[in-house]
């Protein structure tokens, strides 16, 4: 089997695209789709085993992938990483700033270290990657960057550290799009809502118990798939979005809209798209779909 992308198979032929957080979840799915569309994919993360496994999967499916371990929160490490990737693979044409992470906690219980760690992971690391890719490569030949946000439009109760970082990334996306447009560099972002991804299995306690009920708060009455996020990222990287820059695309089934005064009715005709042949349902959602 192969990735069943809706895009043409040679869309990114001859291009090199970095995917951070490429060892699992949405990053893994996006890397597979980009490779299926002809890109040389460079997987970046902190877990070598996960990165190697995804690179092997892509190779088995006929794609091209390489990987490197890097803590994107460390400035000198990022500078060295991008330099080495360019030396080995040539110009960087695309960057998917997907890496991130957080833990559920009310603001009153988050200490400074925990807050700063999440902000460094979800905002500072993405900034460092984008800056170095621009300075060392894209400023010379153009390119496209897609940043990862989340549904934080009404605040992010229970994950205020992540909400603050994601909101910052939304503004950073706009600034970078404006400042770097002269070089032919487009910068956009995606903001997924609730997506059936392996990350759901990392939560415990009360938050884990809520996950199977999340679909009831989505007008489409379902949870999204990794492929639906990946397809949006691919679009923003592609020539079809050649005049789109500084935008954030919400992928949340309209869950971020409306309010309690308007009831969500029983849904009909809402079918998911899942082109990822290696996708699997998180344990927390087993027997819940």
Task: Tell me the DSSP string of 150-218.
Answer: -S-BTB-TTBHHHHHHHHHHHHHHHHHHHHHGGGTEEEEEEEE-SEE-GGGGG--HHHHHHGGGGGGGS
The angle formed by the CA atoms of residues 40, 43 and 45, to the nearest 5 degrees, is 170
For residue 18, the SS3 value is strand
Mean pLDDT by 10 residues, the chain (289 residues): 94 98 96 98 97 98 98 98 98 97 91 96 97 98 97 91 96 98 98 85 72 83 94 98 98 88 78 86 70
Is 41 inside any structural domain?
yes
What is the spatial distance between Cα 200 and Cα 285, in angstroms, rounded to a whole number?
9
Is 20 inside any structural domain?
yes
Residue 110 pLDDT: 95
- pTM of the predicted protein model: 0.91
User: How many domains is the chain partitioned into structurally?
Assistant: 1
Residue 289 pLDDT: 46
Is 260 inside any structural domain?
no
Is 284 inside any structural domain?
no
DSSP state of 40: E
**Residues sharing a CB contact under 8 Å with residue 134, sequence separation 6 or more, in sequence order:** 145, 176, 180, 183, 185
For residue 14, the SS3 value is coil
Find the CATH number of the domain harbouring 60: 3.40.50.720
Is residue 20 within 8 Å of 97, Cβ to Cβ? yes
Is 279 inside any structural domain?
no
Is 136 inside any structural domain?
yes
Is residue 145 within 8 Å of 92, Cβ to Cβ? no
Residue 283 pLDDT: 78
Is 275 inside any structural domain?
no
Residue 207 pLDDT: 66
Residue 211 pLDDT: 78
For residue 85, the SS3 value is helix
What is the spatial distance between Cα 29 and Cα 99, in angstroms, rounded to a whole number?
13
- Give the domain range for residue 249: 16-254
Is 187 inside any structural domain?
yes
């Amino acid at each position: 089997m192969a990735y069943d992308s809706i895009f043409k198979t040679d869309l990114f032929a001859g291009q090199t695209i970095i995917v951070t957080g490429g060892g699992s979840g949405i990053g893994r799915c996006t890397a597979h789709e980009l490779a299926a569309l002809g890109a040389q994919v460079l997987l970046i993360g902190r877990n070598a085993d996960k990165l190697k496994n995804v690179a092997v999967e892509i190779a088995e499916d006929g794609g091209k992938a390489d990987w490197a371990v890097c803590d994107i929160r460390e400035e000198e490490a990022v500078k060295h990483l991008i330099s080495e990737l360019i030396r080995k693979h040539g110009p960087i044409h695309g960057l998917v700033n997907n890496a991130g992470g957080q833990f559920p906690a009310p603001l009153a219980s988050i200490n400074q270290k925990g807050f700063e760690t999440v902000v460094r992971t979800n905002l500072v690391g993405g900034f460092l990657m984008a800056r170095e890719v621009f300075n060392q490569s894209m400023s010379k030949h153009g390119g496209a960057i897609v940043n990862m946000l989340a549904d934080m439009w009404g605040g992010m109760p229970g994950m205020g550290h992540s909400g603050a970082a994601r909101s910052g990334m939304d503004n950073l996306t706009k600034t970078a799009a404006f400042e770097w447009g002269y070089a032919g560099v487009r910068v956009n972002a995606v903001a997924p809502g609730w997506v059936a991804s392996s990350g759901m299995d990392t939560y415990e306690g009360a938050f884990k118990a809520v996950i199977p009920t999340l679909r009831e708060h989505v007008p489409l009455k379902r949870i999204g798939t990794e492929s639906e996020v990946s397809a949006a990222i691919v679009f923003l990287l592609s020539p079809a979005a050649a005049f789109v820059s500084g935008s954030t695309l919400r992928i949340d089934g309209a869950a971020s809209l409306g309010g309690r005064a308007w009831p969500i009715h029983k849904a009909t005709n809402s079918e998911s798209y899942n082109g990822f042949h290696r996708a699997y349902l998180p344990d927390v959602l087993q027997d819940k779909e």
